[in-house]
Amino acid sequence: MTDVTEPVTAAERPERPEHHVDAPLAPPSATTGLLEVFRRRYLLRLLIRREISARYQGSFLGLLWSYINPLTQFFIYYFVMGVLFQLHKNVPVFAIHMFCGIIIVHFFNETFNAGTRSIVRNKALVQKMALPREMFPVASMLVSGYHVVPQLVIMVIACVILGWTPTFAGAVALLLALLIIATVGTAMALLFSAANVYFRDVSNVGQILTNFVRFGVPMIYPYTMVQDRFGSAAEYYLYNPVACAVLLFQKAFWVGTTDDPAQTAAEHLPSDLWAYSVLALLVGVALLCFAQLVFSRLENKIPERL
Amino acid sequence: MSGSESIVVDQVTKSFTLRYHRTFKQMTVAALRRQEISNSFKALDDVSFVIEQGESIGLMGLNGSGKSTLLKLINGVMRPDGGQVLTRGRIAGLIATGAGFHPQLTGRENIYLNAAVLGMSEAETRRKFDDIAEFAELGKFLDSPVGHYSSGMSSRLGFAIAIHVDSDIFLADEVLAVGDKPFKQKCLAKMQEVRDGGRTLVYVSHAAGSVRKMCDRVIVLEQGRVGFDGEVNEGIKYVKYDSGDDGQENEDEELGADI
């Protein structure tokens, strides 16, 4: 039996050097919350990298899937709505009109779905290490946002070919749309990720909601149609922040590809889109605060309920 | 002027809920029959103690007496239901024989991720990377997914990371339960280094010998309460007495495994 050191009793133990810590006494779990997430950017970056590699773990095409998926959606909708229902006759450049919707809807749904599962999927870390748990839904949002970039590149190329020129208002609209989705998406992801720990049913509810989102925005049909059918009630349709974001995207890209942009904008976009968009962003921020509040309440019991 | 306490546990209570019936159907049936739907038990019940800086504490108790729960409260994974836990400085350590690893990530990636969670910067991790890798002795497995590691390998990696973090408090929960003998000795030596450096150490173990060697105070938990808090040998005697074990016979089993 080889001992590492000779057993010594406490009395003859040599005096240890002083290791005095000046940090204040604090609860070890105090630093959570969204702000803390952005203070620990290095950790966030590592989690994002992990998330990207984990999403396509063991798949041959890997990252390509995040383009194949929206692309197939695009063709299905284009064929069914455009060719079969002959919608592209009423809507100029129907393909771009739809693509605007697909990018936004995909961004939102990915954020929402991946975010909902994020905490459960990162069980191993959540149960054993102290870190702000908001990290996981936020990382999901940023990963989904990262996937938007190449889609935007495709969009810009297609639009330029169709004779589109960038405008300042368009750029603002684009930014606003992405901000709306980022805030609303993160808020929903926060809420659902915590709830999903308690009841796994929540991820099923999420699936249903993503279906609603897909058809609740002017993607496969133009906004004009909503106005025609609902009249003044169409205003309530615009309270949906995702629909707002899609319209903003259409303002940024689709309008510019039509023959007469001013005419298209006047005909197909709501006149007070800016007001509704700012409202949507405010709603997003409010929702985010609310989600953070709920998350903090639920968070206490997360490690034991996983 | 800051005080000298390192960990303050003040009247801490933590209860867990046991759920008997989880699905809607089961809950309804149980409610109709007036059975209990859920039931909670106190994993920690009014636990209080203060650990000074530089102390090394042996935390002992039977399985299920609340040791791991207490460590989780100290390292901040969980929050107490009542009372408060206060700590000073950076905390590193292992809980329940392993760190939080991602099974799909390689050992190398996990080192970076784990170190980042513990609060190390990228540069700091890079500086210590070789030490960590060397200590874990994983060789070529460093670049294969941690999910494929044996339990001994992953706990070796976990220990290697935790011990190399510049922490002020080191928590070691049954670290030595899975490692092989040479590694256990290496860990003990490293932990003694930590202790002799003046850092606060909380060491959970069932092995009386190593507790005697490492610690200068023992806290014994009994069903969520502090059963004993004081001198090492008395504490060990207290545990042995209560567990009704065969007493002093296997005392020289310095590195003993779980009882």
Does residue B257 sit at the A interface (CB-CB below 8 Å)? no
Give the single-character DSSP code of A21. Answer: -
Within 8 A of A127 by CB-CB distance, chain B residues are 77, 100
Q: What is the pLDDT of residue A17?
A: 64
Range 72-111 of B in CB contact (< 8 A) with A: 72-79, 84-91, 95-96, 98-105, 109
Range 7-66 of B in CB contact (< 8 A) with A: 8, 16-17, 53-54
Q: Is A25 in Cβ contact with B88 (below 8 Å)?
A: yes
What is the full DSSP assignment across B63-128?
Answer: TTSSHHHHHHHHHTSS--SEEEEEEES-EEEEBTTB----TTSBHHHHHHHHHHHTT--HHHHHHH
Does residue B133 sit at the A interface (CB-CB below 8 Å)? no
Does residue B166 sit at the A interface (CB-CB below 8 Å)? no
Average model confidence (pLDDT) for chain A?
A: 85
Give the distance from CA B118 to its chain's centroid.
15
Q: CA-based diameter of chain B, in Å?
A: 63
Q: What is the pLDDT of residue B48?
A: 92
Instruction: Give the residue, A21 or B230, on which the prediction is more confident.
Output: B230
Does residue A41 sit at the B interface (CB-CB below 8 Å)? no
CB B189 within 8 A of CB A5: yes
Residue B102 has its nearest CB partner, among A24, A50, A304, at A50
Q: What is the pLDDT of residue A66?
A: 74
Token look-up 């003859």 returns: A12
Q: How confident is the model at residue A136 (pLDDT cuts 50, 70, 90)?
A: very high
- Pairing mode, strands B200-204 and B217-222: unpaired
**End-to-end CA gap in chain A:** 43
Q: How far is CA A21 from CA A298, B6, B87, in A?
A: 33, 8, 11
Q: From the CA of A288, how many Å to the nearest CA of chain B?
A: 24
Q: Which residue does chain A place closest to B71, by CA atoms? A: A128
Q: How confident is the model at residue A176 (pLDDT cuts 50, 70, 90)?
A: very high
Mean pLDDT of A226-255: 90
Element holding A302 (H helix, E strand):
helix A302-305
Does residue B67 sit at the A interface (CB-CB below 8 Å)? no
Does residue A11 sit at the B interface (CB-CB below 8 Å)? no
Residue A4 has its nearest CB partner, among B72, B104, B189, at B189
Strands laid side by side in the A25-26 sheet: A25-26, B82-88, B5-19, B38-52
Which of the given ranges, A8-12, A30-34, A144-148, B148-152, has the highest pLDDT on average?
A: A144-148
Residue B198 has its nearest CB partner, among A16, A43, A304, at A16
Q: Is B3 in Cβ contact with A25 (below 8 Å)?
A: yes
Q: Which residue does chain B place closest to A55, by CA atoms? A: B104
Q: Is B2 in Cβ contact with A24 (below 8 Å)?
A: yes
Within 8 A of B103 by CB-CB distance, chain A residues are 124
Mean pLDDT of A44-72: 80
Q: Is A128 in Cβ contact with B95 (below 8 Å)?
A: yes
The tokens for A290 are: 């609310």
Q: What is the pLDDT of residue A78?
A: 85
Q: What is the pLDDT of residue A173?
A: 95
Within 8 A of B254 by CB-CB distance, chain A residues are 1, 3, 7
Within 8 A of A16 by CB-CB distance, chain B residues are 54, 195-198
Q: What are phi and psi of A70, to 5 degrees?
A: -65, -30
- Euclidean distance between CA atoms B250 and B259, whole angstroms: 11
B61 SS3 class? strand
Q: What is the pLDDT of residue A268?
A: 86
Q: What is the pLDDT of residue A291?
A: 94
Q: Which residue does chain B place closest to A122, by CA atoms? A: B102
Q: From the CA of B105, how many Å to the nearest CA of chain A?
A: 8
Q: How far is CA A179 from CA A56, A141, A241, A280, in A?
A: 26, 11, 11, 10
Give the single-character DSSP code of A81. Answer: I
One-letter amino acid at B200 equals: T
Q: Give the predicted TM-score (pTM) of the model.
A: 0.85
Q: What is the pLDDT of residue A27?
A: 80
Letter string b/e over residues A147-172, b meaning 16 or more CB atoms within 10 A of that residue's CB: bbeebeeebeebbeeeebeeeeebee
Angle B62-B64-B67 (CA atoms, 0-180°, nearest 5)? 80
Residue A5 has its nearest CB partner, among B17, B100, B192, at B192
Instruction: Give the residue, A66 or B187, on which the prediction is more confident.
Output: B187
Q: Is B2 in Cβ contact with A130 (below 8 Å)?
A: no
CB A165 within 8 A of CB A256: yes
Q: What is the pLDDT of residue A86?
A: 81
Q: Is A28 in Cβ contact with B3 (below 8 Å)?
A: no
pLDDT per residue as tens digits for the range A155-168? 999 999 998 888 99
Mutate to test the interface with A, among B15, B74, B102 (most CBs of A within 10 A): B102
ipTM of the complex: 0.81
Q: From the CA of A151, how many Å to the nearest CA of chain B?
A: 28
- Euclidean distance between CA atoms B76 and A150, whole angstroms: 40
Interface size, chain A vs chain B, as Cβ–Cβ contacts under 8 Å:
141
Splitting chain B (259 residues) into consecutive groups of 10 residues, what average pLDDT does each group show?
79 82 76 77 89 90 86 87 88 72 86 87 91 88 88 85 88 75 85 88 86 89 89 85 46 45
The tokens for B239 are: 């545990």
Instruction: Give the residue, B249 or A221, on which the prediction is more confident.
Output: A221
Q: What is the pLDDT of residue A1?
A: 40
**E strands present in chain B:** 5-19, 38-52, 56-61, 82-88, 91-94, 169-173, 200-204, 217-222, 225-230
Does residue A300 sit at the B interface (CB-CB below 8 Å)? yes
What are the boundaries of each domain within chain A? 32-296
Report whether pLDDT(A60) > 80: no
